[in-house]
Amino acid sequence: MKTISTSKSHGGVQGVYSHASETCGCDMTFAVFVPPQAADGPCPVLWYLSGLTCTHQNVMDKGEYRRMAAELGLIVVCPDTSPRGEHVPDEKDDWQFGSGAGFYVDATEAPYAANYRMYSYVTRELPALVAANFPADMARQSIFGHSMGGQGALTIALKNPGRFRSCSAFAPIVQPSTADWSKKAFARYLGADQRAWRTYDTCALIEDGARFPELLVDQGEADGFLQDGLRPWLLEAACKDAGIPLTLRMQPGYDHSYFFISTFMDDHLRWHAARLAQ
């Protein structure tokens, strides 16, 4: 693991690191905030998954999470969204596919299967690296994310309910198998058989029997992607049918940006910290 930068913030340390990923077949970059409480022992880990077109840098610069994470004693890990590099297949003119649009799936179709393995990267390789190099209490983990990262957080939590104490999302893509934003990417990463898509689709996973103790979702009512890409009412219906407690907060006037995310970031951090403390 290579240290790219470290900066003191709110008594803790914000670092950016890179490593050669066997899972993704390229160098991967990620950010970790370690709170001041880590000087006294391991701290719980909160994973933040970013959205389409983003890297670790977006939430690090605009998410405004460090003050509250330092107060609550949370390690916050922010992976990249996709594999990157000259040899990694990409479509630079399409923001909904390729680098920046990994959708947290393990691709099975050529030529993407060699690199686009973000599900395994986030659930296996990167946690092992964090456990080995940071004062992390891996017995206490939670996960959240934004948009595509909200989709990733929800699906990962539903598929690994024993690992995460809590899960929340900002404006998640709740049914990517039918959303205009993601259908093309799912077809190219996972193939034409839509049964394979269901394992990375929050609503489909719930319909197929996956469960999680409770979920928190914030959604801006002025989000320009609400109708075509996000559609939180589908998640609301799926959770109601499955008996999963869902707190869905529709926020008047808020859009899809980090102005929205940063406004409610403290709420989510407190919500996760309460469950990580149990």
**Per annotation, catalytic residue among 90, 106, 201, 223:** 223
Active site residue 56: no
Which strand (E) or helix (H) includes residue 129?
A: helix 126-133
Tell how strand 26-34 and strand 75-79 pair up: antiparallel
d(CA 70, CA 269): 10
**Per annotation, catalytic residue among 147, 168, 177, 182:** 147
Tokens of 37: 């409480």
Whats the size of the chain, residue-wise? 278
- Among candidates 220, 103, 97, 234, which has minimal Cα distance to 174? 234
Q: How far, in whole angstroms, is CA 227 from its chain's centroid?
A: 21
Q: How far, in whole angstroms, is CA 212 from its chain's centroid?
A: 16
d(CA 3, CA 167): 29
Q: Please name the amino acid found at residue 191.
A: G
Q: Is the peptide bond before 111 cis (omega within 30 degrees of 0)?
A: yes
Which strand (E) or helix (H) includes residue 271?
A: helix 258-276
d(CA 33, CA 163): 20
Active site residue 10: no
Residue 41 dihedral angles phi and psi, to the nearest 5°: 150, 170
**Per annotation, catalytic residue among 99, 142, 177, 256:** 256
Tokens of 2: 């290579």
Active site residue 147: yes
- Among candidates 238, 253, 73, 245, which has minimal Cα distance to 264? 253
Residues acting as catalytic residues = 147, 223, 256
